[in-house]
Structure 1
Amino acid sequence: MSVDGEAVQVRDEADEPGWEVDPDDEWGTAVITTVGRQLKLRRESVGMRVADFAAAMGYGDDLAYKIEAGNRIPRPEYLEKADEILGAGGLLAAMSEDVAKVRYPKKVRNLAKLESQAVELLSYGSHNLHGVLQTEEYARSLLSTRRPTLSEDELERAVAARTARTAVFERSPAPELSFVQEEVTLRRPIGGIMVLRRQLEHLLELAQLRHVSIQVMPTSHGDHPGTGGRIQVLKFHDGTAVGRADDEFGSRPVTDPRQLRILELRYGIIRAEALTGRESSAFIEQVLGET
């Protein structure tokens, strides 16, 4: 196909799938509907047909129609190119930030928001590594084990959401991050040996950050108050906090100070019984050498 005499390679929806809109995400649906409407109005204002616009963009007509109808989440680069082609002066590209947030499932988006606001994070993991500790390939392999199986679109969104949460390590001022991981989470070869090796190397790198503490609970330490599953507590600048545990309070998030004290007490004991940070790094290096 050519536009103004120039050959244009057209990518269909399978090549550049974008993201499906979650019908239960009211805010996300509103954002994408608004973006689609603005794209359509801008295209019509310059007198460009959908087919011509899609060709200039390098995508199929079907994707352009779905995005304008608010049925498809455009990638940031789609909006940036559309802004250029339609001469929007940055108005369309400026929507990329909100659109990027909509890509992530509502539940994960809310969690990421809380993590981005926390001044302290306490986390004990008994089955898997905490999401913010995971490399992208490890996260993809782990999320691929879910049943029912995630569709390709759902998997990509979940991986992108989990990877985005790692921004917590780059915040300024830096929050205090404390993790205690069961030994089994370091040894289970999620994604294969090489994926696990790179994940262990990543943990060692994170452990060197001054505001990050990564401790290991060896399997040989049989009796401790974390046998019921994961525990997590997030503390905020205003003195409030939110926490949850797999075997406490119906696994629901809690904010009541009395319930939070229970979780902090349990986490404190777990942390005290785990290996120290230096011992834990040595332990991870040992597991890496054995892998």
Structure 2
Amino acid sequence: MTAAQQGELGGQEVRSVGTTKAHRDAATAAVRYFGSQMGLLRKRAGLTQPELARLIGYSEAMVAAVEQGRRIPQKDFIDRVDDVLGADGLLTAGAEFLAHARYPARFQDFAELEADAVSLYSYETMLVPGLLQTEHYARALMSIHCPPPDDETIEQRVAARMDRQALLTRRPRTILGFVIEEAALRRSVGGTEVMREQLENLLVRAELRNVSIQVMPLESGAHAGLNGPVLLMETSDRRTVAYFESQGMSTFVWDREDVSVHSQRYGVVRAQALNVEDSARLIKRMAEEL
């Protein structure tokens, strides 16, 4: 969503419904078409998949997955392939369309804003936030969606979620703050081993200088976050938006007064949660108990 679009919307909330079958079909077609074109150009260049993989610095498995339409490549992959195969921009021209195909329709605008965010603060009540999920945890979540997605869709969505996590370590650094309900960390998503790995991953992520992770303990009782989860993001043009997701629906709130209320509430939630040191100790204890 462009700044101009945001300005035109003014104080309105922007809502988008869940992904439709038409969108899924169009996204799948775009990915498969790109893969077929890449494979055709590779063969015309007289290269095998292993040879192309070595030239672009990616794995053979990645090259095969892209050509078969099972993996949506990032821009860097596309640029390298276009250059090596002498495609003269034919493949890079499709990068924008593939970027949108990586996510459900309701999430595309958010993903675009998130990629260039200056800061992001999240309060999550049910699940570990996507930016902190392990691959196994994310796959377990997506596998139990209703209606159930096909294996190809699951793998594409998992890959897209993992790729989003580049935000954690990119430069310039994005400031990231997370408050997670203890109940979400005790919910056994994917089984014991998956949850132990997920909790240990939170401890690793919490060591990053630009990342803070806090836990809202069960013993805290009633607190300011009981109205539900919220995400606050400062965009590259220094505007702050509140974002909500629920039951396949997503909502942006741009109105300054409304965003201010959500920001105040989030500030209280952070103050009521355990500090980062105590949160890390609790997460470590939960991991050891599994």
The two structures have a TM-score, normalised by structure 1, of 0.71
DSSP 3-state at the match of 1:122: strand
Corresponding residue for residue 261 of structure 1:
260
Tell me the CA shift for residue 236 of structure 1.
Answer: 2.2
**2:117 and 2:81 mapped to 1: Cα distance?**
35
Structure number with the bigger relative contact order (C-alpha 8 A, sep ≥ 6) is 2
Corresponding residue for residue 101 of structure 1:
99
**Where in structure 2 are there 5+ consecutive unaligned residues?**
1-20, 51-65
Superimposed CA distance per residue, residues 70-99 of structure 1 (whole angstroms, 9 cap, x where no aligned partner): x96776589988997xx6467556568547
Corresponding residue for residue 223 of structure 2:
224
Instruction: Please say if residues 124 and 180 of structure 2, whose CA atoms lie closer than 8 Å, have aligned partners that are also in contact.
Output: yes
**2:80 and 2:215 mapped to 1: Cα distance?**
45
Instruction: Please say if residues 23 and 29 of structure 1, whose CA atoms lie closer than 8 Å, have aligned partners that are also in contact.
Output: no
User: What is the identity percentage for the equivalent residue pairs of Structure 1 and Structure 2?
Assistant: 34
**1:178 and 1:78 mapped to 2: Cα distance?**
32
Corresponding residue for residue 148 of structure 1:
147
Seen in structure 2, the aligned counterparts of structure 1 residues 208 and 266 have a Cα distance that, compared at 3 Å, is: same
Superimposed CA distance per residue, residues 126-173 of structure 1 (whole angstroms, 9 cap, x where no aligned partner): 000110010111100111121111111221121112111111111211
Tell me the CA shift for residue 42 of structure 1.
Answer: 6.2
Seen in structure 2, the aligned counterparts of structure 1 residues 89 and 282 have a Cα distance that, compared at 3 Å, is: same
Instruction: Report which of the two structures shows the higher radius of gyration computed on alpha carbons.
Output: 1
Superimposed CA distance per residue, residues 22-70 of structure 1 (whole angstroms, 9 cap, x where no aligned partner): 74389968966985896699699x7x9xxxx9xx779xxxxxxxx99xx
Corresponding residue for residue 173 of structure 1:
172
After TM superposition, the structure 1 stretch with the greater mean CA deviation from structure 2, 186-195 or 91-100, is 91-100
**1:109 and 1:246 mapped to 2: Cα distance?**
13
* Structure 2 counterparts to residues 246-257 of structure 1, below 5 A: 252-257=251-256
Count of aligned positions:
249
* Structure 2 counterparts to residues 7-26 of structure 1, below 5 A: 23-24=22-23
**2:114 and 2:174 mapped to 1: Cα distance?**
9
**1:29 and 1:270 mapped to 2: Cα distance?**
40
* Structure 2 counterparts to residues 201-212 of structure 1, below 5 A: 201-212=200-211
Corresponding residue for residue 273 of structure 2:
274
Runs of 4+ in 1 over 4 A off after TM superposition: 25-44, 71-84, 89-100
Tell me the CA shift for residue 262 of structure 1.
Answer: 1.0
The two structures have a TM-score, normalised by structure 2, of 0.71
Tell me the CA shift for residue 244 of structure 1.
Answer: 2.6
**Where in structure 1 are there 5+ consecutive unaligned residues?**
1-21, 59-66
**2:283 and 2:70 mapped to 1: Cα distance?**
40
Superimposed CA distance per residue, residues 2-38 of structure 1 (whole angstroms, 9 cap, x where no aligned partner): xxxxxxxxxxxxxxxxxxxx74389968966985896
Seen in structure 2, the aligned counterparts of structure 1 residues 75 and 259 have a Cα distance that, compared at 3 Å, is: closer
DSSP 3-state at the match of 2:147: coil
**1:91 and 1:186 mapped to 2: Cα distance?**
45
Give the RMSD, CA atoms, in angstroms: 4.0
**1:93 and 1:151 mapped to 2: Cα distance?**
27
Instruction: Please say if residues 233 and 241 of structure 2, whose CA atoms lie closer than 8 Å, have aligned partners that are also in contact.
Output: yes
Instruction: Please say if residues 104 and 157 of structure 1, whose CA atoms lie closer than 8 Å, have aligned partners that are also in contact.
Output: yes
Corresponding residue for residue 190 of structure 1:
189
**1:172 and 1:256 mapped to 2: Cα distance?**
29
